[in-house]
Amino acid sequence: MQAVILVGGEGTRLRPLTFGTPKPMVPIVGVPFLARTLERLYEAGIRDVILPAGYMPQAITEYFGDGSRLDMKITYVIEDEPLGTAGAIKNVEKHITGPFFMMNGDVLTSLDLRAMIAYHQEKGGLGVLHLIKVEDPSSFGCVVHDESGRISQFIEKPPKGTEPTNEINAGTYLLDPKVLDFIPPGRNVSIERETFPRILADGQRLYAYTTEDYWIDVGRPEHYLTVHRDVLSGVMPLEVEPGISGAGAANADCANLIAPVHIGEGTMIAREARVGPNVVLGKNCRIAAGAAIEDSVLWDDVVVEEGATIEETIIASRSTIGANAKIGKGSVIGHDARVEPGTVAPEGSRIGPSAPIGAR
Ligand code: GTP
| pLDDT tens-place string over residues 263-286 | 999 999 998 999 999 999 999 999
| DSSP letter string, 61-110 | HHHHTTSGGGT-EEEEEE-SS--HHHHHHHTTGGG--S-EEEEETTEEE-
In 3-state terms, what secondary structure has residue 151? Answer: strand
Q: Counting atoms of ligand 1 from 1, which one is nearest the CA of 52?
A: 30
Closest residue CA from atom 31 of ligand 1: 8
Helix/strand number for the chain, H first, E second: 7, 31
Distance, CA of 139 to CA of 59 (rounded, Å)? 31
Grade residue 229 by pLDDT with cuts at 50, 70 and 90. Answer: very high
What's domain 241-351's superfamily in CATH?
Hexapeptide repeat proteins (2.160.10.10)
Closest residue CA from atom 8 of ligand 1: 9
**pLDDT (0 to 100) of residue 85:** 95
In 3-state terms, what secondary structure has residue 304? Answer: strand
| Per-residue pLDDT tens digits for 45-89 | 999 999 999 999 999 999 999 999 999 999 999 999 999 999 999
Q: Counting atoms of ligand 1 from 1, which one is nearest the CA of 81?
A: 27
Grade residue 201 by pLDDT with cuts at 50, 70 and 90. Answer: very high
Grade residue 355 by pLDDT with cuts at 50, 70 and 90. Answer: low
Residue range(s) in the chain whose domain bears CATH number 3.90.550.10: 2-220
What positions carry a catalytic annotation? 157
Which percentage of the chain shows pLDDT scores above 90? 89
Distance, CA of 65 to CA of 74 (rounded, Å)? 7
Distance 10 CA to ligand 1 centre (A): 6
Helix (H) or strand (E) holding 171: strand 167-175
In 3-state terms, what secondary structure has residue 14? Answer: helix
Average pLDDT over residues 134-149: 94
Give the β-pairing of 167-175 and 100-104: antiparallel
**pLDDT (0 to 100) of residue 359:** 40
Between the CA of residue 184 and those of 114, 160, 194, what are the distances in Å? Answer: 30, 33, 10
> 123 or 353: which carries more pLDDT confidence?
123
Rg (CA), the chain: 21
Distance 198 CA to ligand 1 centre (A): 21
Distance, CA of 127 to CA of 196 (rounded, Å)? 10
Top CATH class of 2-220 equals alpha beta
Closest residue CA from atom 9 of ligand 1: 9
Distance 8 CA to ligand 1 centre (A): 6
Residue range(s) in the chain whose domain bears CATH number 2.160.10.10: 241-351
Residue 5 pLDDT exceeds 90: yes
For residue 114, count CB atoms less than 10 angstroms from its CB and return exposed for 0-12, middle for 13-18, buried for 19 or more.
exposed
Mean pLDDT for the chain overall: 94
Residue 133 pLDDT exceeds 90: yes
Angle 72-76-81 from CA coordinates, rounded to 5°: 155
In 3-state terms, what secondary structure has residue 27? Answer: strand
Distance 9 CA to ligand 1 centre (A): 3
Distance 21 CA to ligand 1 centre (A): 14
Average pLDDT over residues 216-221: 92
Grade residue 358 by pLDDT with cuts at 50, 70 and 90. Answer: very low
Ligand 1 pocket: which of 75, 104, 222 to mutate (most atoms <8 Å of CB)? 104
Distance, CA of 300 to CA of 21 (rounded, Å)? 12
| Closest listed residue to residue 145, CA positions, set 127, 122, 121 | 127
Single-letter code of the amino acid located at 30? G
Residue 360 pLDDT exceeds 60: no
**pLDDT (0 to 100) of residue 356:** 53
Q: Pocket around ligand 1: residues whose beta carbon is below 6 Å from it?
A: 6-13, 23, 52-54, 79, 82-85, 88, 104-106, 219
Under 8 Å between Cβ of 330 and 324: no
Under 8 Å between Cβ of 1 and 99: yes
Cis check for the bond before 16: say yes or no (omega within 30 of 0): yes
Under 8 Å between Cβ of 192 and 85: yes
**pLDDT (0 to 100) of residue 256:** 84
Cα dihedral sign, 3-124-192-88: positive
